[in-house]
Structure 1
Amino acid sequence: MALPVREQLKYWGAALVVLLVLLWWLGDVILPFLLGAAVAYLLDPVADRFETLGLSRVVSVALMTVLGLILFITLSLLVIPTLVTQAASLVERIASIIESAPENVARLQVWLSGTFPGLVERFPDIGDIEQTLSRSLTSVTGAIRERAGTLIEGALASFSGIVNALVLLVIVPVVAFYLLLDWDKMVARIDELLPREHAPTIRELAREIDRTLASFVRGQGTVCLILGIYYAAALALVGLQFGFVVGAIAGFLTFIPYVGALVGGVLAIGLALFQFWGDWLWILAVWAIFQSGQFIEGNILTPKLVGSSVGLHPVWLLFALSAFGAVFGFVGLLIAVPVAAALGVLARFGVHRYTDSPLYRGTAEDDGEGHDG
């Protein structure tokens, strides 16, 4: 005899509460296993593709592991040091720009006094702007300069406090390797444990969640990589200082729609104004790089790689990242996108069931009475 719906909701609700409490309580302990599971999930289609070419699962996973190690070593030796160096130099450059602000304000005051002589007489306090701004910016500049040399190392050290070198270099790859090796077996075992009454519905929802999540994460990740390379290479070609790190930032933030182009564009154009001031052709070229990037993303990359039916609205994604990050910390940021995808699928399923139910449509008698009335 099947359990009543109310009893089932109590059991599943209790299981959900226990899961959330465990995520909050275990925190960083569970982090390497979540990272390993995320890597295994992302790479499972690649392993399946190798198997279709005639390789065994073990050989496929071993080959992917070797390729991953080569990629990691290459990034460690070539890309990451350049990013760190340019990021530290960028902080130093911003400090210099802030430091020169009082001089620019003084020149602006001289120009205003010569062009609009009545302005200073009408607003006598305008003469104090330079002194006030100079004192404020001097203190800010001093703080930035003191930390410019250690800002990047401090950020990396803080990151290492959450995800230490042992996790990154040992535990995560090992967890990912074993999960990827037995991924299909684990999925089959979970399918066997599904409640028989609801197994077809759960399978359908799981397939929809997997499709949504895979389309978004894998597709958007590819878009981020392509745009990051494009922005970095294009900005380097026009000669923009720190173009490599600005391109990397813009590409990474493209994961959140419109944010990458906005942040990267403002940062790049701001740097271009100071570097190419008076040479408007190069400033226009920097602007054109981000405009073309937006056009390529919106009309070519996103429709082809992500698709229009993913169902993860940017506002919903931002809310999920903010909420889960605030409650569960770094672990929350990892699970925010999968949970957002799952909740979106469940919400659409619930709306579909509601629109097919008598609660929405009413009964035949009600329709007849409404028609007669």
Structure 2
Amino acid sequence: MTLQRQVIFWILTLAVTVLLLAIFRAVLLPFVAGFALAYMLDPLADRLQRTGIGRLGASLIILILFVLVFIVALMVIVPLLGQQLGEFVDRLPSYVARLQQLAVEQGGPLIDRLGGANALSDIQKSVGNLMSQGIAWMGTFLQGLWSGGQALLGIFSLLVVTPVVAFYMLVDWDRMVSTVDSWMPMRNRDTIRAIARDIDRAIAGFVRGQALVCLILGTFYAVALTLLGLNFGAMIGMTSGILSFIPYVGSLTGLILSMGVAIVQFWPDWTLIVATLGIFVFGQFVEGNILSPKLVGESVGLHPVWLMFALLAFGSLFGFVGLLMAVPLAAAIGVIARFALQQYLTSPLYRGTEPVIITPKVDLDA
């Protein structure tokens, strides 16, 4: 009966939490963003504390630096990327038409074998339908994210409330963790602490590490493509870097966009087209062999397919707030699922014997 009551209690707690998220999702964005920002910056605050700076002073220094970097980004990077994005959208139909023309000119013999003019018409119609469906889907997706993630007070609340929330959470972070830890059931406290450490390790390893990987890759792609002279190189590079948060998606998106623009812009100069391809091949080599093993690690446990599903699912349900919550929740669900699988494999339901309880090792030095 005790176990049954515990299960009912945690199920009800989960249901109430989901219900509250659904009710207050319109105003959650600045608070969730502030919490995520405080979580990412907490190790930096701890390092500053070890130098002799108090927690309040360390949090204040971090907040000022973050605001300065954010203002510079708004004044320099965002206008540039916005201008290139607008021009890219305007030129997209002409780029697609030019790619179709080049495909017809260079693939004439193959098209004749497939059926001549009828095959060409079918190919053009299929490409046109695919492009229109893709643009429509992207517009619907972005509109859903905007409407689902928009706070009641608009963007102003995100820009003003988020830093304030992050500052206060950063100041009281250790105290909050200790308080929540004291609420854990005493009988299962060691097990819960071990699971929480695994969740924190998974989230920290992916979010902090992958965010740094995205920043490095986005900067490299943007600078390299711009120096190469590729149109919209900064926008394509930064977009590829941001989307690299989802493994393989960012590099594939950037490769397709950059190669399409390079073929239209540089044809028939194969040297610059191959150089564009080489930039992404080199970027993927560095990411796979240096950046990801060093910054992210191999013990995160977030499969790319599970990560993509979590981002799409939570983004669809809760908008931009869902995107911020997707990775932590996906990591937490993964850790809990692995622990539940361990318990099942040692249970009478699987073994047909007396249950063997597995308690994760507690790292007392952590």
User: Under TM normalisation by the shorter chain, which class is it?
Assistant: 0.7 to 0.9
The answer on 1:181 being equivalent to 2:171 is yes
The higher-RCO structure (CA 8 Å, 6+ apart) is 2
How far residue 133 of structure 1 moved from its aligned partner, in angstroms, is 6.3
Contact 2:243–2:250 (Cα < 8 Å) also in 1: yes
Q: Render the CA deviation track for 1:170-223: whole Å, top value 9, x for unaligned.
A: 111111111111111111111111111111111111111001100000000000
Equivalences for residues 76-87 of structure 1 within 5 A: 76-87=74-85
Please name the residue that 2:10 is paired with: 12
CA distance in 1, matches of 2:325, 2:120: 51
How far residue 252 of structure 1 moved from its aligned partner, in angstroms, is 0.5
CA distance in 2, matches of 1:363, 1:133: 64
Distance change (3 Å), C-alpha of 1:161 and 1:36:
closer
Where in structure 2 are there 5+ consecutive unaligned residues? 355-366
How far residue 258 of structure 1 moved from its aligned partner, in angstroms, is 0.6
CA distance in 1, matches of 2:353, 2:100: 75
Q: Report SS of the residue matched to 2:337.
A: helix
Q: Report SS of the residue matched to 2:187.
A: coil
Distance change (3 Å), C-alpha of 1:108 and 1:336:
closer
Please name the residue that 1:349 is paired with: 339
How far residue 94 of structure 1 moved from its aligned partner, in angstroms, is 1.3
Please name the residue that 1:333 is paired with: 323
Please name the residue that 2:359 is paired with: none
CA distance in 2, matches of 1:40, 1:254: 22
Please name the residue that 1:92 is paired with: 90
Distance change (3 Å), C-alpha of 1:274 and 1:183:
same
For 1:327, the aligned partner's letter is L
How far residue 102 of structure 1 moved from its aligned partner, in angstroms, is 8.1
CA distance in 1, matches of 2:22, 2:164: 24
Distance change (3 Å), C-alpha of 1:105 and 1:239:
closer
How far residue 58 of structure 1 moved from its aligned partner, in angstroms, is 0.8
* Matched positions, count: 342
Please name the residue that 1:147 is paired with: none
Equivalences for residues 302-317 of structure 1 within 5 A: 302-317=292-307
The answer on 1:292 being equivalent to 2:299 is no
Q: Report SS of the residue matched to 1:197.
A: helix
CA distance in 2, matches of 1:238, 1:88: 21
How far residue 329 of structure 1 moved from its aligned partner, in angstroms, is 2.5
Please name the residue that 1:73 is paired with: 71
Q: Report SS of the residue matched to 1:187.
A: helix
For 1:166, the aligned partner's letter is F
How far residue 330 of structure 1 moved from its aligned partner, in angstroms, is 2.4
Residue of structure 1 aligned with 2:265, choices 261, 264, 275: 275
Residue of structure 2 aligned with 1:165, choices 135, 155, 167: 155
For 1:57, the aligned partner's letter is R
CA distance in 2, matches of 1:133, 1:321: 33
Contact 2:149–2:321 (Cα < 8 Å) also in 1: no
CA distance in 1, matches of 2:149, 2:4: 44
Equivalences for residues 172-251 of structure 1 within 5 A: 172-251=162-241
Contact 2:218–2:239 (Cα < 8 Å) also in 1: yes
CA distance in 1, matches of 2:20, 2:170: 24
CA distance in 2, matches of 1:228, 1:124: 42
How far residue 105 of structure 1 moved from its aligned partner, in angstroms, is 8.3
CA distance in 2, matches of 1:279, 1:13: 62
Equivalences for residues 116-195 of structure 1 within 5 A: 126=118, 129=121, 158=146, 162-163=150-151, 164-195=154-185
For 2:287, the aligned partner's letter is E
Residue of structure 1 aligned with 2:247, choices 234, 257, 277: 257
How far residue 162 of structure 1 moved from its aligned partner, in angstroms, is 1.2
For 2:79, the aligned partner's letter is P
Give the CA RMSD over aligned residues. Answer: 3.1
Residue of structure 1 aligned with 2:31, choices 33, 48, 53: 33
Q: Greater Rg, structure 1 or structure 2?
A: 1
Residue of structure 2 aligned with 1:360, choices 341, 350, 357: 350
Q: Report SS of the residue matched to 2:247.
A: coil
Distance change (3 Å), C-alpha of 1:195 and 1:342:
same
Q: Report SS of the residue matched to 1:69.
A: helix
